[in-house]
Chains A and B, each alone.
Chain A
Amino acid sequence: MLYREAGQFKASYQEDQQIFTIRQDRIGFWAILAVFFLAVPLLANSYWLQAILIPVLIFSLAAIGLNILTGYAGQLSLGSAAFMAVGAFGAYNFMLRIDGMPFLVGIVLGGLSAAAVGIVFGLPSLRIKGFYLAVATLAAQFFIVWALVKFPWFSNYSSSGVITAQRIEILGFAFDTPVTKYLLTLAIVCALALVAKNMVRSSTGRAWMAVRDMDVAAEVIGIRLLHTKLQAFAVSSFYCGVAGALYAYTYLGTVEPEGFNLDLSFKILFMIIIGGVGSMMGSFLGAAFIVLLPIFLNIAMHSTLGGAIPASFASNLELIIFGGLIIFFLIVEPHGLARLWQIGKEKMRLWPFPH
């Protein structure tokens, strides 16, 4: 019913190559964008914007970053949070030390410093693979957080080692309300997601996937392994870095290096596993699932049930339900939420004649 594709013909290469080849998808996509750009700022209150939507968007961006590296290029990484930290501290230092640094340039420079660090820690990937590479990126996680605490220059000699994000101003317009911060985050995330989607559809992404599927074969058909892997590390770290900068500037405002700990890296990894490895949409779904479910459970347990059950029991119950649901989803659909949507969509396209 929804997907009646009769009469949709592709008459040019351009039409054949667009991201959404089905008209209904295109309409749905623009409708979603319209809702998030137009309706949400009008309707949502500051709780929804600041505590729900902005973190989901930022973590989606980080998940896209990790998905590029792990999902598309097949390199397992446990250092995403550290690359976010590099982005946050990088952007902070560029804006602090260079007078009149425009915000967007500062964010991009923060992302680029993360990319540079990512390349360095990506170097071992040429020799080591799989779990061993995960351990090597684990080193990045610990080293970067340690370095940010160890050298006070990074936090501008703050006695407590934290950085406080400067005001966000673009062309004289101050982004200081929840709505403007949300729109800024949304715009950056949408733009970068579009770039990422196009990257994975182009020769760059195909090279990554070739390396992922079998690196010897990829080498035989003329893909330079070192180049491709480092490219994936750089792009992935850039995305994580920008996400980290946004985390500091549009979400928390003040961040400490310990905030970017291994737990956060694991969280981002869970996002892509739950959402769907090697899927753009999965990055968004996974981020929403991992960020929102604990909050939803917490509201259900503490606000609604309130005094009915002891608070310690409620808090532990939340973790149990959260873990249980993750296992449930992985059993029901090992390829993630994105795959679930894909199956649903295929069914809808065939409906009402499934055979």
Chain B
Amino acid sequence: MKFKNTVVLGAAVAGLLATGYAVAQDQFIGLPSYRVGPYASGGSGIYGGWIDYMALVNERDGGVNGVKLTWEECETEYNNARGVECYERLKSKGASGNSVFQPLSTGITYSVLDRVAQDKIPMVTIGYGRTDAADGRVFPWVFPMITTYWSQNTAKIKFIGMKEGGMDKLKGKKIVNIYHDSAYGKETIPVLDVQAKKYGFNVIHIPVAHPGNEQQSQWLRVRQEKPDWVILRGWGVMNPTAIRTAARTGFPRDKIVGVWWSGAEEDTVPAGDAAKGYIAAGFNVAGANFPVIKDIQSNVYAKNKGNMEDKSRVGSVYYNRGVVHGIITVEAIRTAQEKYGKGKPLTGEQMRWGFENLRIDNARLKALGAEGFMPELKVTCEDHEGSGKVKFQQWDGTKWTVITDWIDGDKSIVRPMIEESAAAYAKEKGITPRDCSKES
């Protein structure tokens, strides 16, 4: 009896593993999503937007040059080990294997960094992940696209300089960096220190222990220090708490600048009125008035095929970020198809070429109905970041309003640091960096 049960169970497992293989001629995209746990609001919004965009491409255009997009979700729970399992599970599905892996978690990014190079599957980390992977010579398979934490940080200082009336006015100013006490939070400390030296401002780093739902002492210290600006490098529940505590200690919210993981509706709405005036960076903007979002509404949601259960979230920061993921993925497929043959599913290697030669200019963005929605993108063999631009948005109490144009990061500061860090990694791992002049 026991044996029989085991056989039945084994057969069931084998059957489960065998299903889900798509029909040939489809491009498979594995989605290592997370819809439970502390960061579920981000995960459900971003993967929801991404899926909706792919559904739009299937519904409206019949796929990319006739190649339908298929996808399958795998729940990672934002857990590294589960992420690795998802990566392994998804990697060989579909007609030509998984086209791209985008885990939306810096921890999972690190956990599969070696595997993607081995299995020849590109990994795209938009606005998170390993900063020095922007050096494509050392990391051919990893694309930390649009902007890295370091670029964004220099853009923030530029923004603060703009507000102060010029970069030379930063001299003698005081900036407090409130950060999530983790590898993620500490990542911008060196780049801030370099800038403090360059522009002559004082920077004070104040850590907040995970999860950050108690920040009285940190903000009392802010009050003692009387800084001109506060940079908030928060995560999850830490953000609304920071905004509320700032209000209670009387620090003006329009002098707080958040990272893009601190700048969604999920961060400001729980803080209530306290969040009014709060500023955050973003490589995509909020709002449902873009043609691409309207297309999704009329082609996907009108046919009841939308992914979001809460339809009011369509057009929110996280949702739109998911649409950016979708646009980049689909455009990379299109780029690669132009080289390797239209109407054919692509392998991971061909997809990598597509990402490395991705060019999305304003004309293309306009054609996609996403002008001003995300920055222009030009990825090269050396530079896997491709843009480095962010916009700043301010919370007016009910919605995010864009207050700047695209602001570029300071490449003269960031690029040498990226190259130095990548070279150290290459040396440790014994990697010989690619010669980009020989790439086609």
Contact = CB atoms under 8 A, between A and B. Distances in A.
A338 B393 CA distance: 57
Contact of A310 (B17, B186, B309): B309
B17 A164 contact: no
Nearest to B130: A160
Given A50-B88, A303-B19, A311 B82 contact: no
Contacts of B357: none
Interface stretch (A107-115, A127-135, A254-262): A254-262
For chain A, which range describes its interface: under 10, 10 to 19, 20 to 34, or 35 or more residues? Answer: 35 or more
A146 B183 contact: no
A28 interface: no
Interface in A243-258: 251-258
Contacts of B153: none
A295 interface: yes
A38 interface: no
B362 interface: no
A259 B132 contact: no
B399 interface: no
Contact of A303 (B20, B33, B40, B309): B20
A324 interface: no
Given A256-B107, A259-B107, A311-B73, A316 B85 contact: no
For the residues of A in contact with B, the DSSP-based class is: helix
Contacts of B107: 256, 258-259
Nearest to B420: A159
A315 B187 contact: no
A254 B16 contact: no
Given A159-B132, A251-B84, A302-B75, A51 B20 contact: no
B398 interface: no
Interface stretch (B108-116, B223-231, B334-342): B108-116
Interface in B24-72: 33-36, 40, 44, 47, 72
B202 interface: no
Given A51-B88, A312-B309, A315-B75, A149 B183 contact: yes
B181 interface: yes
A313 B113 CA distance: 30
Contacts of A316: 35-36
Interface stretch (B161-169, B258-266, B374-382, B421-429): B421-429
Interface centre among B79, B87, B182, B309, by most chain A C-beta atoms within 10 angstroms, is B182
A286 B330 CA distance: 43
Given A303-B19, A318-B75, A254 B114 contact: yes
Interface string A308-324: 00111111101100000
B33 A311 contact: yes
A30 interface: no
B130 A253 contact: no
A298 interface: yes
B144 to A, nearest CB: 11
Interface of B: 13, 16-17, 19-20, 33-36, 40, 44, 47, 72-75, 77, 79-82, 84-85, 87-89, 91-92, 106-107, 110-111, 113-115, 130-132, 181-184, 186-187, 190, 209-210, 307, 309, 417, 421, 425, 428-430
20 contacts: A51-B84, A55-B84, A162-B110, A164-B110, A252-B110, A254-B110, A254-B113, A254-B114, A255-B80, A256-B110, A258-B107, A259-B80, A259-B107, A294-B77, A299-B17, A303-B19, A303-B20, A312-B40, A313-B309, A315-B35
